[in-house]
Amino acid sequence: HHSFVYLNEPGSPIEFRTLKRGQWANKREFLLAVVGEIIGLGNVWRFPYLCFKNGGGVFLVPYVLFLVTCGIPIFFLEVSMGQLTGQGGITCWRKICPLFEGLGYGSQVIMLYTVMYYIVILAWAFLYLFSSFTSELPWARCNNTWNTDDCIDNHLNRSSNGFVFENATSSVEEFWQRRVLGLSGGLEEVGSVRWDLAGCLLLSWIVCYFCIWKGVKSSGKVVYFTATFPYVMMTALLIRGLTLPGAMDGIWFYLSPDPTRLTDPQVWMDAGSQILFSYAVCTGCLASLGSYNKYDNNCYKDAFALCLLNSLTSFVAGFAIFSVLGFMSYELGVDISTVAESGPGLAFIAYPRAVAMMPLPQLWAAFFFIMIIFLGLDSQFVYLEGLVTSISDMYPSFFFAGHRRKLLLLIICGLSLLIGLSMVTEGGLYVFQLFDYYACSGIPLMVFAILETLCIGWIYGADHYYNNVADMIGYRPWPYMKYCWRFITPAGILLFSLVNFTPLRYNNTYQYPWWGYALGLFLAFSSVFMAPLWFLYSLAVTPGTLRKTKKNKTRKTLSNTQQHKTQMHKMKQFLRTWMQLFFTVITTVNVYMSPSYSSVPELLMVSSTSAGKHQPSHRFNIIVILKSTLPGSLIFIWRQREVHL
Question: Does the annotation place 312 within a ligand binding site?
Answer: no
- DSSP secondary structure letters along 66-84: HIIIIIHHHHHHHHHHHHH
For 451, the enclosing helix (H) or strand (E) is helix 443-454
Q: What does the alpha-carbon distance between residue 275 and residue 576 come to, in Å, rounded to a whole number?
A: 29
**CA of 131: how far to CAs of 352, 361, 376, 423, 557, in Å?**
11, 12, 19, 20, 56
358: left (phi over 0), alpha (psi -120 to 50) or beta: beta
Contact between residue 374 and residue 233 where contact means Cβ atoms under 8 Å apart: yes
Q: What's the distance, CA 334 to chain centroid?
A: 33
- Number of helical (H) and strand (E) elements in the chain, helices listed first: 33, 4
Residue 379 annotated as lining a ligand binding site: yes
Cβ neighbours of residue 228 closer than 8 Å, sequence gap 6 or more: 32
Separation between Cα atoms, residue 614 and residue 143, nearest integer Å: 63
454 is in an annotated binding site: no
Does 297 count as an annotated binding residue? no
Query: With contact defined as beta carbons under 8 Å apart, do 382 and 36 qualify?
Result: yes
Instruction: Report residue 602 CA to chain centroid gap.
Output: 32
Closest C-alpha among 501, 516, 383 to residue 443: 501
167 belongs to an annotated ligand binding site = no
Asked whether residue 147 is marked as a ligand-binding residue, the answer is no
Q: Where are the beta strands (DSSP E) in 115-199?
A: 151-152, 169-170
626 is in an annotated binding site: no
The dihedral of CA 98, 99, 102, 103: what is its sign?
Answer: negative
Name every residue whose Cβ is closer than 8 Å to that of residue 78 and which is 6 or more positions away in sequence. 281, 282, 284, 286, 287, 290, 452
Binding residues: 36, 43, 278, 310, 375, 378-379
Binding residues for Na(+): 36, 43, 278, 310, 375, 378-379
